[in-house]
Each structure stands twice: as structure tokens, then as C-alpha cells.
Structure 1
Amino acid sequence: MTSDDTWSDADRAVRAVLDSIYAAWADNDADAFVAPYAENATAVLPGAYLPGRKAIKDTMATLFAGELKGSSARHEVQDVRFVGADAAVVISKGAVLLADQSTPDPANRALETWVLARQDGDWRVQAFHNCPEQAAVAHEEA
């Protein structure tokens, strides 16, 4: 999908969740960052497994106060795929910009997988995984 006009309401709502997470990152606000995460959400990052919203929040608060202070992140949704009416898998490309950077270092670029589910009318992140973009090899269809 290439245009907001072609996205469904559910597609727009899922994308808005990711937009809110990245806006919270730009503010270095760990509470806002995890607000759309489910209580039992998981995050898998290179070298880290974060079980639950509290672990994700605590980790991001530490990072925002330390090595990611003043940083922001970019994301570009590649695909939104619905698995039934109340679950979505999102593939995106992300990049971290440290406080002194105007363009991301290639080492800070990632491929991301998000799993979201609708709970009580709201879309919530259930799981997040990323890997360095350089480490991922795309499968070419024959």
C-alpha cells in the first residue's frame, strides 16, 4: 500500500500506534513509549529479551537517560498484514539517530517485526523483534 487513501481504518490505526511509539522516542519518554504495549508484551533485540511492558519501559528509561539521550528513531512501514480482524503483523525498517547525528549510521539500521492485537478497542503491541539490517538477507522470489 502506497497511499493513505488505500489504507483501511484498521491499517491506519496500526500505523498510528507505531507513529506514537516513535514520537515518544523523539521525546525520550519511556512512559509514552510503552503506553501502547500490552502488559505481557515482549521485545527481542540484539542481545536482549525483554519480557513484559515493565521490562521494556525500564530498559528504555535507562537508555533514554544514557546512551540514547537526545536520540530519535525513524521508521518506514514496509508491510501491514492482518491475521484476522484483530491481529496484525507489521514489517518495518528502522534507524536510530544519536543526538549528534543527522543521518543514521548503517550499524543503527534495523529490520523490525511487530505483532499487534486489538484489545478492548485499542491496538496494542504484543511483540516486537528487530535485527540489524545488514544481518538480514532478503529472499528473492523466483
Structure 2
Amino acid sequence: MTSSPVAEAAAPYDSAVREVFREVSRAWAAGDASAFTAWYALKASVVLPGSRLEGEEDIRTTMAGAFAGPLHGTRRVHDIERIRLLCSDVALVHTSSATLREGQREPAPEQREKVTWVLARHHGRWLIEAYHSSPADPA
């Protein structure tokens, strides 16, 4: 069986893209807004139900407040469902994600969100350009 050139080229990116999710989750669990937004591009956008954040500074300020308040002691999990390279420096990622409260091991179905991410390489480093979250259908 032979592998396609596209599959071979995607392998190194898969690991690097997955690393972004590990690091963002680690920063979230630590409540570190600066480490969290270090994985976002300067002009990144975040779309959440009912709100939109524009740019790294807006994301950092919002997350710092959230980590000090309602998200204090939480952690974020991302189950990567698909990584698709749009070109060698841009990846589209679909995840099933959830925010877990302290002591919670697994998310309840109603906690799940379907998330679409756009990541791009900047000087060899993958950064989040766009994030869009929508509640998952628990059915």
C-alpha cells in the first residue's frame, strides 16, 4: 500500500497543530490568560454564542476576567475530530470541546460544544486565527 504525497506532507503538521490544543488547555487549567492568548494571532477573532472578541488583547482581557471569575478552577478539553490542511500554512480544525468544573472528569453531553478553528503558521509556529463555538446537539 502506498501513501499519498498529501498524507505524507500532513503528518508533521498534525502533531504541531495538536500541540496548540494541548498548550491552550494547559494555560486554561492554570488560569493564565497571557499563556492562553500566546497561542492566538494578533488579529484573531473569537465567536461565542452572543458575543465576538476581536484581537489578541481583547481575548486576553476577556479571558483574564473569566479566569478570575466564572471560569476559575475550570479546565477545557478538546477532542479533535478532524484536521484539514487548506494549504501548507493554514489548517481547519473541528473539535468537540467542553469546559469542566473542578473535580469533573468527563463532560455531560449538554456541556459539549462543536467548535471550528482556523490555525495558521506564523514564522513556523501555529497560531489560532479564528474560533467559532456552537452548542452541540446532545441527542
CA distance in 1, matches of 2:82, 2:106: 23
- Three-state SS of the structure 2 residue aligned to 1:78 is strand
For these two proteins, the number of residue pairs brought into alignment is 131
Match of 1:85 in 2: 88
CA deviation profile, 1:26-85 (whole Å, cap 9, x unmatched): 111111111011000000011110000111111111111001100011110000000111
Match of 1:27 in 2: 30
1:67 equivalent in alignment to 2:86:
no
Q: Which consecutive residues of structure 1, in runs of 5 or more, have no partner in the other structure?
A: 1-5, 138-142
CA distance in 1, matches of 2:125, 2:106: 33
Match for residue 19 of structure 2 among 5, 16, 23: 16
1:96 equivalent in alignment to 2:85:
no
CA distance in 1, matches of 2:77, 2:30: 13
Match of 2:118 in 1: 115
Structure 1 residue 119: Cα displacement: 1.0
Given that residues 97 and 105 in structure 1 are in contact (C-alpha distance below 8 angstroms), is that contact kept between their aligned partners in structure 2?
A: no
- The amino acid that maps onto 1:33 is F
CA distance in 2, matches of 1:42, 1:11: 22
Q: Which consecutive residues of structure 2, in runs of 5 or more, have no partner in the other structure?
A: 1-7
Identity of aligned residues (%): 40
Detail structure 1 runs of 4+ shifted over 6 Å in the superposition.
Answer: none
CA distance in 1, matches of 2:75, 2:90: 28
- Three-state SS of the structure 1 residue aligned to 2:19 is helix
- CA-atom RMSD, angstroms? 1.7
82-91 or 103-112, which deviates more: 103-112
